[in-house]
Structure 1
Amino acid sequence: MADVSRLPWAITDHWDWQRHAACRGMNSEVFFHPDGERDPRRSQRVEAAARICSGCSVREPCRDWARRVAEPYGVWGGESEQERREHLARVRTDRSA
């Protein structure tokens, strides 16, 4: 019998949290900016997305995933691109201190 202990875990184990997301099935334009979007429209869109995320049962795993992979686009777990960049910069600074 083949040794399967070194195979990666099932993809469903890694992504299962997405099935429970409040945003599932919603228009992605709420969470990802269109080309050329500027303030105040951008801030309004990010706030609307963050409101959806605020009541989501998988907010933390979503945000943590986006931070872990340094996701460059969209609102994930209630956190905008800028907020993620700032968080990652703080983490890097803390580690180097």
Structure 2
Amino acid sequence: MSYEHLYGSLGSAPHTNTDSVSVGAAGRPHLSLVPDDFASAPATEDDEWQERALCAQTDPEAFFPEKGGSTREAKRICLGCEVRDACLEYALANDERFGIWGGLSERERRRLKRGII
């Protein structure tokens, strides 16, 4: 039974990039969800801070604790980070709802936006 009439062919799916399909080790094509022009775009000044961030050099799980989990370790790392302000600005501008950004939790960032902190 063909579902092509419902979903279209695999190559025409709007969310897959098959322009430069390479074959992986298992002999299957490697499909990317990231457009080629996005992956090769040069880093801008706005996102270069991410490469210098201390969180990029540590365990990301500390910055996205499960609900009720401790944020202490992530906040401690943020205290010594040279790009803490840029990180917080990014989180506020992009309405990041999860994780520790710029040393603040999502709840703390909401309070900051409302002028409570």
Q: Fold match, TM over 0.5? A: yes
1:12 positional shift? 2.3
* Mapping 1:1-97, distance limit 5 Å: 11-34=43-66, 37-38=67-68, 42=69, 45-90=70-115
Higher strand share: 2
Paired with 2:60 and 2:51, the residues of 1 have a C-alpha distance of 15
Task: Point out 4+ residue stretches in structure 1 off by more than 4 angstroms.
Answer: none
Count of aligned pairs between the two proteins: 75
- Which runs of 5 or more residues in structure 1 are unaligned? 1-9, 92-97
RMSD value, Cα: 1.7
User: 1:45-85, CA deviations, whole angstroms, 9 ceiling, x for partnerless residues?
Assistant: 31110000000000000011111111101001101111001
Name the larger-Rg structure. Answer: 2
Paired with 2:59 and 2:103, the residues of 1 have a C-alpha distance of 16
SS of 1:74's equivalent in the other structure is: coil
**Contact 1:70–1:84 at 8 Å: present in 2 too?**
no
1:33 positional shift? 2.2
What TM-score do you get using the length of structure 2 for normalisation?
0.58
Q: Percent identity?
A: 37
Higher helix share: 1
What TM-score do you get using the length of structure 1 for normalisation?
0.69
The letter for the 1-side match of 2:93 is: R
- Which runs of 5 or more residues in structure 2 are unaligned? 1-41
